[in-house]
Amino acid sequence: MGQRSILKLLDSLLRDGRQAVRMLARSPGFALPAILCLTLGIGANVAVLSWIEGLLLRPFPAVADQDRLVVVAGTTRDSPKPDDISWPDLMDLRRSCTLLDSFIADKIMGTTLSMGDRAERAAGSVVSANYFAALGVRPVLGRGFEAAEESGRNGHPVTVISYWMWKERFRGDPAIVGKTQRLNGVQHTIVGVAPEGFYGTFVGYPIQFWVPTSMQETFEPGGYKLEDRGARWIEGYARLKPGVDVAQAQAEISAVAKRLESAYPATDRGRGIQLLPLWKDPFTKTGELLPTLQITFAVVTLVLLIACANVSGLLLVRALARRHEMTVRMALGSGRGRLVKQLLLEGLILSTLSAAGGSALAYACRNALVVFFQSQAAVNLRGEMDGRVLACSAGVCLLSTLLFALIPAVQASKVDLATALKAESVGVVGGHGRSRLRSGLVLVQVSLSFILLVGAGLILQSLKRLGAADPGFSTREVLTTGLDLVSAGYDAPRAKLYQDGLIERIRALGGVESAAWMRVRPFTYLPYSWAPIVVEGYAAAPDEQPSAEYDEVGPDYFRTMKIPLLAGREFIRADDDTAPLVAVVNEKMAAQYWGGRRGGSSGDPIGKRFQVKGRWMRVVGVAKLVKYQSFLETPAPFFYVPLRQRFSVRAGLMVRISLDPATMTAALAREIRAFDANVAAPEVITLREHMNRSALASQQTAVTLLSVFGGLALLLAAIGLYGVMSYAVSQSARELGLRMALGARGFNLLRLAMSHGLALTAAGVVLGAAAALGLTRFIGKLLYQVDPRDPAVFASAVIVMAIVASAACFLPAWRATQVDPVRVLRD
């Protein structure tokens, strides 16, 4: 009996399905617009879901069991920002933690590859020996790294190259293992080739080669760090053991960190270890993309709601056209439930076709985020269309069916059979109710579109503020470039001669006011140096570990950057490796450790000393507080040391100019190439452009995404408003004809016909504004010096909605003024 019931149900569904397909095929004018609206709404949702899956939840293609992979980050009591950990600390965690299978060290860096007579930039990683094995990645040729290769000082120059590099740069050479490649001026033996589709563990850039941690000093500036517990440079990961959750592992690792703090107070006091899910990874583009993708998902959800409201309105109009069919079917014995099931099945077919089209659209757009980062080379931001995303898309399909089909189906089944059989013209009860329902759906569309317009306007306003923001130093009259002397074969003595010679030639160029070297340029991915400090005369709290970031800069740096010195002097040529160690501190550091900067007072830091890694240095200047890595950063202690007292072969160059930037850019690039043709030709850009590439990337992405999806929502809302107006005009044709026969003028009729649509728009804007006042606070993370309730942005959104609504209402209203009153009254 049960089996027969199931078969009967399936047969009924099959018959109803065939009937639904026939009905939709007979109405292409309805089906195609409905499918198009839903395809756009569902496709946008699936595309964003694929980005979330591929960039946040499972960001490392070819890596096994990513659900058990966590980020290992350092913390400090006085800063909420996660940071790197040291190699000795990582080794202690590896030895002491029992709830984690493995700890993985990773540090992205860049180098210049020598390829015959040319040099190319490539991204690489310094990794622990267990990197490939712990990730479950098996090289297609050769091997990964051996345990002995992660220790020693530059003792194991071996590398694993990416599949892409093997195919593109080595032409898929099957005998590649054992051959050599010069990396950062050192010949490395290729021991393996990573599998196709593995791009490393850095979201945003495809890694092209990996070297073991024993080669750290070759690739990571700042000296040998494998034995320095205070050198924090590792961007770590760990794999949880099966059955262990993050909370259990965090409790264990926090206990180990507490023991390290007690055992090594000079470097670990006030520090802890935090485990983070991959979608909160602070070391890659994930942290930058997370708020953008969260907001984008909310936006496409609103777009789907607007699309569903639009299709629901189309279904209501179609229901009026099918009132005779519904009456006859009920007269022949069909129950109301059967009618509702039939109409819901038609909606399910619509949404299934739309989901298929939306999934295809999402697949085509899965890598679309790369377009928004064109200013940065080799960006790798891939969406993932896996089983979980497809399952979610099926859920979106079912949900959208209920959203747009249920209410019209219920309304269409409300047939007063006795009345309908007497007079077909009034056969469907609730006609006015349907009109109100359609108006309500348009109200929803207008409200949601207004919210999206306000959100896009706020982020656009923030982007403009960021573009004009003052970081504390000059940007537009400064050119900048980075030079990789290591890859050109320079050691420290030769690099010093190169830097001295080149900067003298550049200073001699016409239009150059000043020039200076520095190890790290502001607003770049490269981290500043970091160290625990001991300030003479400052009594640290028991749980406090004074520390600060610092940069190595050359003479004329503050003059070139126009960073005001509040006291003392900047560095001079005589501040070299033979002179006493000196430093310039920022005003935050001066206030925190010396209590002020007033000359002659006990709080004056000039002449005072502090210790960095066992070496005392004397303060010779106090610089104004500036932005170092982003406009949203919290002010923190920072100091500068002379580049010659802590020399780095890798350095950036800043040049202050007085002539046209385009002319000076070309002249500077020529001068660098002429000085030594073996140094890879650098990109010379303005400092403002350099900052925009990093500081404005997330804002530009958010603006673009909100603009695209907001524009789509606005278009759908306009279509919905146009449909309501067209239907209202068709239903009021007799009334309008009578008014024209009685002498009404065209302008009055136009105003009358448009009033309904504009009234709906006004009501929708009011509702949308009320909702936006509460919702815009959720995008506060992306806003810079912009009030989420900025009246100018709200006013602009009102104007845009008014223009769009007027355009959507005008054509149906204009058609109303062209009716023939004689024919309408006769009909």
What three-state secondary structure class fits 679? Answer: coil
The answer on 578 and 560 residing in a single domain is: yes
- Residue 344, in any domain of the structure: yes
Task: Write out pLDDT tens, residues 745-799.
Answer: 666 667 776 787 788 889 989 999 999 988 888 877 778 888 888 899 999 999 9
Residue at a domain's end among 679, 709, 738: 679
The answer on 405 and 322 residing in a single domain is: yes
- Residue 303, in any domain of the structure: yes
- Residue 434, in any domain of the structure: no
Q: What is the pLDDT of residue 71?
A: 95
Q: Is the dihedral of CA 682, 688, 694, 698 positive or negative?
A: negative
> DSSP for 543-593?
T---EEEEEEE-TTHHHHHT--EEEE----TT-STTSPPEEEEEHHHHHHH
C-alpha 388 chain-centroid distance: 21
In the DSSP assignment, the letter for residue 415 is: B
Q: Is the dihedral of CA 510, 515, 517, 521 positive or negative?
A: negative
Q: What is the pLDDT of residue 425?
A: 39
Structure tokens at 47: 């595309």
Q: What is the pLDDT of residue 115?
A: 55
- Residue 309, in any domain of the structure: yes
The answer on 308 and 196 residing in a single domain is: no
C-alpha 383 chain-centroid distance: 12
The answer on 72 and 39 residing in a single domain is: no
99 with 252: CB under 8 angstroms? yes
Task: Write out pLDDT tens, residues 272-310.
Answer: 999 999 988 888 877 777 888 888 888 888 888 888 888
Give residue 741's identity as a one-letter amino acid code.
A
Burial, 524: exposed, middle or buried (Cβ in 10 Å; 0-12, 13-18, 19+)?
middle
The answer on 640 and 581 residing in a single domain is: yes
Phi-psi region of 286 (alpha: psi -120 to 50; beta: other; left: phi over 0): alpha
Total count of domains within the chain: 4
Cα-based distances in Å from 486 to 34, 218, 763, 795: 61, 9, 65, 55
Task: Write out pLDDT tens, residues 50-60.
Answer: 888 888 888 89
595 with 603: CB under 8 angstroms? yes
The answer on 31 and 93 residing in a single domain is: no
- Residue 763, in any domain of the structure: yes
238 with 103: CB under 8 angstroms? yes
- Residue 557, in any domain of the structure: yes
- Residue 224, in any domain of the structure: yes
How far is 546 from 456, CA to CA, in rounded Å? 42
Q: What is the pLDDT of residue 553?
A: 96
- Residue 74, in any domain of the structure: yes
Q: What is the pLDDT of residue 428?
A: 31
How does the average pLDDT of the chain come out, rounded?
A: 82
Structure tokens at 508: 């001699």
Q: Is the dihedral of CA 798, 804, 808, 814 positive or negative?
A: positive
The answer on 613 and 703 residing in a single domain is: no
How far is 585 from 593, CA to CA, in rounded Å? 10
How far is 262 from 547, CA to CA, in rounded Å? 17
The answer on 495 and 541 residing in a single domain is: yes
Q: What is the pLDDT of residue 387?
A: 81
Prediction pTM value = 0.77
Cα-based distances in Å from 563 to 10, 515, 582: 77, 14, 18
The answer on 354 and 250 residing in a single domain is: no
Q: What is the pLDDT of residue 163?
A: 94
Residue at a domain's end among 679, 703, 726: 679
Residue segments in the chain with a per-residue pLDDT below the cut of 70:
1-21, 23-24, 26-27, 29-30, 80, 112-121, 317, 319-339, 371-379, 407, 409-435, 596-603, 681-682, 695, 698, 724-749, 753, 816, 818-827
The answer on 802 and 709 residing in a single domain is: yes
The answer on 320 and 229 residing in a single domain is: no
The answer on 267 and 187 residing in a single domain is: yes
Residue at a domain's end among 231, 253, 283: 283
Structure tokens at 224: 């040998």
How far is 802 from 790, CA to CA, in rounded Å? 19
In the DSSP assignment, the letter for residue 778 is: G
Domain that holds residue 805: 447-467+693-827
